[in-house]
Chain A
């Protein structure tokens, strides 16, 4: 398993089968379109739209965050008065751009990915053009060692206000342990794909059978993660059925 970067880690070849988690979790596509058209797109900054559209051209576009999701993150970052953020899993840099736009001018986001190829090719020019490249601190590498390095660096404990994890699910709980040291009490950690197309709610063997093997495995990981978070007294958790499921964790201890 390669580490961060959903595609490389979770089976590139299964990209087609990943369609399960690109459809909306809402009761109709119409409803989702309404939300996008009435609440998201009218306020979407041009640069973000540009990067969103460029990302949809990418063969692994299924990995990207969704527009309503990045809009929420921008709002949360402003509500928190966040200055320092971490992003685990970058891909083209779409959610990274949204984060960078929301941070103040002297804000910084440490962006971690095992590869910077998609970022360099697609997102970096847009982020540059948007005038926020100075806020991005890109670290190439496996996320666990990079996070351990961050924890070891002087003054980093509790320095960060917001973190977004969109990477290999099998390591979510490991990332969680490190992020709980890096993010301050009162800060927020957001995890992606925590409802895995809704398959986490599979009621029994019949439902399970309708899933691909990959989806079954990932639904299992998501369930395990969700249960662990729900029992974690160091955070106040909130599961939102946006995108593919977003688990918000506010650090309380």
Chain B
């Protein structure tokens, strides 16, 4: 698709929704979001996580970063279910990986998958080591579908995991879902990031948006509809960060 939306000969190109305007949140105001951060999130944020978050914000791909409130929720979920084995699909600098590792018990493990380990090696690995949780991280570099299939092929891996967090290429979310629903135990959690895509998923069909937003929000709508209809999970969509969908495997 050549045009970036609007279809007007490349005159005005619509900005991607995450860069448009000054709204940093799905909530009705930045002030409300900041209030939540200031009162409940930042005071509880572990210093090592804050440090990694700041380093990540400086990265040129910082738009991929997950905010502090989402990390707090993930940590709480990991602890709530007493998770011991986790999977992370999409690592980037390792911010959510560190949040997960901190919440796991000392003998817990997180298999962290990314096709490129450079952002992690450059930024997160040192932070994870400094936080004293490097022994919990099992980094697998590779195409996520391949790595997940390899995991499945290994003996005893069906239902071995308690928790999975997916923050990766949206077009493959439904494919990751199939594999994770075998790797994660019944009663365990699979959590998806960016499932509201700046609110683009709710816009009426003709609404102007960038080509990227059009294709990504379409993929996410497919995932959302799929999950809602999937009898193997009980799911809930929260307007935290860019939209977080929490799926509990029931069958």
Contact = CB atoms under 8 A, between A and B. Distances in A.
A227 interface: yes
B40 A79 contact: no
Interface string B218-251: 0001001101110000111111100001101000
Interface stretch (A58-66, A106-114, A172-180, A233-241): A233-241
Contacts of B129: none
A217 interface: no
Nearest to B196: A31
Interface stretch (B22-30, B104-112, B144-152): B22-30
Contacts of A186: 80
B94 to A, nearest CB: 22
A203 B31 CA distance: 7
B193 to A, nearest CB: 15
B43 A230 contact: yes
B203 A30 contact: yes
B199 interface: yes
A30 B39 CA distance: 28
Contacts of A42: 228-229
B interface, size bucket? 35 or more
A52 interface: no
Closest 9 A/B residue pairs (Cβ): A34-B202, A201-B35, A39-B237, A239-B40, A201-B32, A31-B202, A201-B31, A198-B32, A30-B202
Interface of A: 24-28, 30-31, 33-35, 38-40, 42-43, 68, 71-72, 74-76, 78-80, 186, 188, 195, 198, 200-201, 203, 223, 226-227, 229-231, 236-242, 247-248, 250
Given A35-B202, A195-B32, A223-B39, 10 more contacts: A25-B27, A27-B25, A27-B27, A38-B237, A40-B237, A75-B246, A76-B80, A230-B44, A231-B43, A250-B80
